[in-house]
Amino acid sequence: MKKTAAASAVLLLSGILAAGCAGNSNVSNSGSPVQSPAATAGASTSPATAPSPAPEKTPAGSAKPSASPSASAAPGVSPAPSSAVKASPSAAPSAAPSAKPSASPGAAKPSAQPKGESGAGRQALSWYYMKKPKGQVPDFPKETKSFTAKEKAVWVGQGKNVYLTIDNGGPMGETAKLLKTLKENNVKANFFISGNNVKAHPDFIKQLAADGHLVANHTMTHKDMNTLSDEQVRKEITDFEKLYKSITGQDVVKYFRFPYGKYSTHLLDLTSDMGYTSVFWSTAMRDWEPRANGAEDPYNDIMNNLHPGNIILMHQGSKENMEALDRILKDVKKAGYSFGLVSEIKR
C-alpha cells in the first residue's frame, strides 16, 4: 500500500495530471474520479486520485490556456503531511452509487513561457490535492512547503467551516436559480468571475455584492497566466479592478484565483506584491463536462470529501451543480459545518 501511494505521489508531482478550470491554506481546481458509495463505506485506508479539472470554455475573445503539468501549491498553513495519496472526490453518501468519470490523469506539456521570461520560479505549475478518507484534510503539493511568507495563498481553512467558491470564466448558467438557492439557505459564497462575464452581466454582479457574497479577481480574459508577460498579467488584474469598481462602486476584495489553477511561484510572488491572496482548493470535481449520474455526482463528490476547512471549487456553468446545490448546502449544514468567506480564513 505504501509503495502504491508513494508511486502515485511521484506521478502526480511529475506533472502527470489532466489539466483543468481547500487545515490551512492554498488549493486549486482538481477534479477526480468518483467512487461508488459501497467503495466509500469501506475506503478508510486508500483514498483515490483526483485529476486537475479541465479548462472551462472561456467567454468569447479570451484564449483557452494550454494544459500545463506539474502540481503546485499555495502558501499558508498546510496540514501535516501523511502518506502520499492521490486526490479525488470519493463516493457519495447517497444510496445510489455514482459512476466513475472516464478521464484519468494524463501527461500534459508545460505551458509556454513568454519569450525572454524564464528562470527560477517560472516553472508552470497546476494545482492538485491528494484525497484522504472522508473527514480528513487532503495532502497538498510539495511546493506548499517551500512557499515563503511573501507568497500569500490559501488552500484550506480551519475548523468545522466550509468555503464554497464558485468559478465563472465560461458559461453563466442559471444565475437566478443560483442566487435564490444561496439566499434561501442563508449561505454566502465566494465568486471568482472573469472580467468578460462581469462586463456582460453587471446586474448579476451588483446583486452578488448586495447579497453579501465575496466577488474576487479572476482576471479579465481568463487566460493561462503562464503564457503572459508580467506586464500583461498586471494588466489582466488591474483592468478587472477598474471594471468591478465602475459597476459596483466598490474596490474589489484582494483575493485572486488563477484561471485553470495554473500558476508559478514567480506569478504567486507577483500577485502577492499586488496585495492579493491566491485561493486554491481542497475539493473539486469534473464539472466542466456532463455528469453521468446527473445531480447525484456533484452531491457525492462534495459530501464524500467533506473535511474541516474545506474549500470547495465548483463551476457556475454546470447544470448538475445548480441542480444539486440546494441539497448540498442543506446536508453540509446537517453534517455540522458552517459556510464562510475566504476572507475569514486565518493565515
Nearest CA to 307 among 164, 145, 136, 73?
Answer: 136
- Helix H, strand E, coil C: the string for 221-275 is CCCCHHHCCHHHHHHHHHHHHHHHHHHHCCCCCCEECCHHHEECHHHHHHHHHCC
Nearest CA to 312 among 288, 281, 338?
Answer: 281
338-339 vs 161-168, strand pairing mode: parallel
Q: Which residues are catalytic?
A: 167, 315
Q: How far apart are CA 122 and CA 96, in angstroms?
A: 45
First to last CA, the chain: 34
Cell of 346: 486565518
Q: Long-range contacts of range 109-113, CB-CB < 8 Å, 24 or more positions apart?
A: 109/66, 109/67, 109/68, 109/69, 110/15, 110/68, 110/69, 110/70, 110/226, 111/65, 111/66, 111/67, 111/68, 111/224, 111/226, 111/227, 111/262, 112/66, 112/226, 112/227, 113/226, 113/227
| DSSP-derived 3-state class of residue 17 | coil
Cβ pair 245, 252 in contact under 8 A: yes
